[in-house]
Structure 1
């Protein structure tokens, strides 16, 4: 059937174009990758009623339902009303009547109002994993109403520990759960288990004092992984009750200029992380002159320059005493070169800060 389809409008509604003309894939948000199993029945219903009977676990932990015909999108959106209200609105506290801090009238049967801020992904965190330093999906649900809905693009990955199973280093804004350790020498057996764990799986900052048979620590390079806590048989190492986070900035994949993110904040509390993200919309709007484009956070930082980014993103944020902020950041992008004797492909040069 020949029909005119506004691909951009449909995409804004969280539908992705298929290679089959007139067919689309719905991306259902699952903030933090954790949702009640009862919603699997909804996935099945959509897939079998309007899709091709299949769904894909999206790389951003969305339920991607394939094979939806363009003419069926209104019916799918109407069916999504309860899911969006229960997951995004009730569970995460998202205000669907506001997009990028601007009021709008949201029709509950119109589906998602925007695809701008991507679904926040997370590993399982300390809900289950013995390495986890934080509850990742609870943090994701607190972040969701800050960044969504918005036409400004940002990708956020949350990892429960420095193992970074969720690739916080490869997105616009990566959050890693870290811990401050407390050493209790009166409990220490001098067995050296923590030293061996740090040496094998972390940054080798622990050593066994041969005179006292207690542990010496060089705090310079501790990444807050908690391996010493896991290894100790006598609980001589414990995590501080306060949760801390490392924030990684400006990482990205892609064809043209992929790069690994760099550390922006270290030992930041949850309040600091949330405060920083509350300034993300303001920063994005400033860089883009209040005209949203399909550009992700790393590219926006490149446009503004790190100094200006830091000025805006930390505005009004009260840093906790332990929090460290990068003085400057220099990203290293991949430079593709030919196997032949020709000049390397010219890298795109970003504009400097605006006056």
Structure 2
């Protein structure tokens, strides 16, 4: 049998190889438009970051190797332009025409590129082939790209964002939809994912329709977004334009096939991204542009062609995504929203559960949303986010849905358990228990989406955490329920909120037993919901403390007005950022901006109710608030880069310090605040030695005294600004302990005594401004590499976290431990970073 296959990536190569294994007498030929076949399209983003350094490793088989292994003929760079079903022939762009007995179309899909101005610019890319990934990586590296815009917040867009961010590039993701991962996750889960992305330093702008690509970025309906490189990740469309006049039935460009992958025309089949499949749950036609679907349907097609009675059961749009280290997301089946649209009596539950035994090192949380049909209890879908193996939860749900399982069928599954791998009751099973309780009326709750939509309006928020957590809410201890609510009307609308949702359920159970009839538990608790209380009058102290940790300091003249600090990179911001801050100041504040001593900008006069809108406004535009609390503070530096005396590139160094220690350590609590300052030369314009850690640029002289002529008027002596250079017994003499390594004497000696210098950094530890001034003490060795400098700074922060006492400044820690001890620790010792970061540390900073 002469079988022609158009397309050679996933479906095409899978069906070809299986056909030959089924019957070696087949004559199978692949014709593909590309130079490559059988490449790992899903691995392309990871080549951009360098995680997969060798592009060739993404090519599973070369045409030659594939032919040798399978016996399939492979013809590359052959683009089909027309098929003739009557003559059973295919015409190619080079005018080659071939005939077939069976034709399999597996041409895949092509990226969607909008018809707008600027899409043909040299800095605009799509990602579909190995060559695309190589070109993006090369462009970023050769152009030293610092900012990127990803247009599209679906799976491929967010994967590209993660991998470009890993190269040290500032990334903005823009999408027309009002959420990330549209149609894949429900709005509440998408909102949780968006928050995690923002915390990881990704700027996310939703509701932004792309209008034009310019030389500086993109224009959207939400304003201009700057970026030196633009990646279009707007999805894909089936590569089927050449079939428009063929008579093959198409729907939205995809080939309509039956459950054996047959088209409407005799002897023509299709599989992969160019073809439709069916949904297991609805039976309706569906589009699943996934490598997994392509491989599965390719194998089924081959078996059906060789006589087996086999049918494709359909897909669930299952997908899993690594967003960042420590953040994964997965989904399968229907979202709650899509289930409702499909006519199901949809009901869901959202909960936060341990991903493994809570006491096991490295344990974390899963955020799970489980969707079922309320009347039949059939499982319809699951969405899960967390640092662990979310695919385990998704794949278990996939199996359940394929088997037509009800929630109760999950209850007693003998799933694997050991503390390093799971909880004793599997997280998905826990979710099914809770959803059963909800369906049966045992649990009365609001979902995070219902809370987002305002359904809890009119309910009194009751804080049932272990300790008061929600500012402005009524706190109730578990053992004081009867006493607290003895005089409360039994029909009072009470919204019970805890950390995750479990304790609020237990409280609700107790209150029901006491006769209360209108309580609601908030699913996911404060982990999944932004619980807000409207305050009448003065803001409670605990809420003042909470917003202060976000960089919002109360204006003592007013009960509800704050000044909000916006973080800069050592005082440097772009013109676009200036415009944003000005707009924020006008929109949310008093119209005035001040500058702090740590080079943050402070928006004055922000009313309490405007704090969160202001923060969200800034976050969407790549800016953040902060700079308070027991944390590493924003890094400040002098302008040594441009100063005539500058010895170090302070702008570049400060930005690296800012990124690694202010941003990278932003969740690490210290005994007190920790301030870092960088001076470009020993003039000490920003007083590095009055900070917890100060860095001063150095040029350590290596004097060639043998060349000294003992001149009566020594130019080195004359040029020394601090007068430590002298001529003693006819030779130049400079005490290295007194020299401040400013290099003003460089090149001054006509006999070349002062020509050679070693660049480096002097590090001061234990300085302090404020009520009790302390001058930092320099480490006993000048650091001569940036790599070692970053290591020393990190050691100092970790030493402070490990051995500092709550409430004491680093200067006090150094004095208590002794400088010699600290010096040795920072220059010579190793520090157990993981152990120190796992410690429980209480901060003592009050401002």
Please tell me whether residue 160 in structure 1 is matched to residue 680 in structure 2: yes
Farther-moved stretch of structure 1 (302-311 vs 172-181): 302-311
- For each residue in 1:260-290, what CA deviation from the matched residue of structure 2 results, as whole angstroms up to 9, or x when unmatched? 222224421222221111223422332257x
Equivalent position of 1:278 in the other structure: 794
Equivalent position of 1:91 in the other structure: none
1:227 equivalent among 716, 720, 744: 744
Equivalent position of 2:408 in the other structure: none
CA drift of 1:12 comes to: 0.8
1:178 equivalent among 698, 707, 713: 698
Equivalent position of 1:131 in the other structure: 645
CA distance in 1 between counterparts of 2:797 and 2:715 reads 46
Equivalent position of 2:546 in the other structure: 9
8 A contact 2:635–2:677 mirrored in 1? yes
Equivalent position of 2:583 in the other structure: 45
- For each residue in 1:279-327, what CA deviation from the matched residue of structure 2 results, as whole angstroms up to 9, or x when unmatched? 23422332257xxx5543223334444355345434239xxxxxxxxxx
Equivalent position of 2:429 in the other structure: none
Q: Which runs of 5+ in 1 are unaligned?
A: 86-109, 318-355
CA drift of 1:232 comes to: 6.3
- For each residue in 1:58-97, what CA deviation from the matched residue of structure 2 results, as whole angstroms up to 9, or x when unmatched? 1111112211111101111111214546xxxxxxxxxxxx
- For each residue in 1:100-144, what CA deviation from the matched residue of structure 2 results, as whole angstroms up to 9, or x when unmatched? xxxxxxxxxx8559742111110001x211111101121112212
- Matched residue of 1:77: which SS? helix
Please tell me whether residue 142 in structure 1 is matched to residue 659 in structure 2: no
- CA RMSD across the alignment: 3.2
CA distance in 1 between counterparts of 2:675 and 2:627 reads 17
Distance of aligned partners of 1:203 and 1:175 in 2 relative to their CA distance in 1, 3 Å threshold: farther
> 1:291-306, aligned counterparts within 5 Å?
293=806, 295-306=808-819
Distance of aligned partners of 1:307 and 1:228 in 2 relative to their CA distance in 1, 3 Å threshold: closer
- For each residue in 1:118-171, what CA deviation from the matched residue of structure 2 results, as whole angstroms up to 9, or x when unmatched? 11110001x211111101121112212332213322011111111111111211
Please tell me whether residue 246 in structure 1 is matched to residue 781 in structure 2: no
> 1:70-81, aligned counterparts within 5 Å?
70-81=608-619
CA drift of 1:243 comes to: 2.8
2:669 equivalent among 151, 156, 176: 151
Distance of aligned partners of 1:299 and 1:167 in 2 relative to their CA distance in 1, 3 Å threshold: same
CA distance in 1 between counterparts of 2:778 and 2:797 reads 21
Please tell me whether residue 194 in structure 1 is matched to residue 708 in structure 2: no
Equivalent position of 2:633 in the other structure: 118
Farther-moved stretch of structure 1 (12-21 vs 303-312): 303-312
Higher relative contact order (CA 8 A, sep 6+): 1
CA drift of 1:49 comes to: 1.2
Equivalent position of 2:89 in the other structure: none
Equivalent position of 1:20 in the other structure: 557
- Matched residue of 2:582: which SS? helix
8 A contact 1:159–1:168 mirrored in 2? yes
8 A contact 1:18–1:25 mirrored in 2? yes
Farther-moved stretch of structure 1 (175-184 vs 187-196): 187-196
User: Based on CA coordinates, which of the two structures has the bigger radius of gyration?
Assistant: 2
CA distance in 2 between counterparts of 1:36 and 1:243 reads 30
Farther-moved stretch of structure 1 (140-149 vs 301-310): 301-310
Equivalent position of 1:313 in the other structure: 826
Equivalent position of 1:287 in the other structure: 803
Please tell me whether residue 205 in structure 1 is matched to residue 697 in structure 2: no
1:29 equivalent among 564, 567, 571: 567
CA drift of 1:204 comes to: 2.2
Q: Which runs of 5+ in 2 are unaligned?
A: 1-535, 832-847
CA drift of 1:38 comes to: 2.9
CA distance in 1 between counterparts of 2:749 and 2:622 reads 45
Query: Structure 1-normalised TM-score?
Result: 0.69
4+ runs of 1 displaced by more than 6 Å? Answer: 184-191, 232-236
8 A contact 2:707–2:752 mirrored in 1? no
Query: Structure 2-normalised TM-score?
Result: 0.31
In proportion to residue count, which structure has more strand?
2
CA drift of 1:234 comes to: 9.3
> 1:53-132, aligned counterparts within 5 Å?
53-84=591-622, 112=626, 115=629, 116-125=631-640, 127-132=641-646
Equivalent position of 1:98 in the other structure: none
CA distance in 1 between counterparts of 2:794 and 2:577 reads 30
CA distance in 2 between counterparts of 1:287 and 1:250 reads 14
CA distance in 1 between counterparts of 2:781 and 2:814 reads 19
8 A contact 2:708–2:753 mirrored in 1? yes
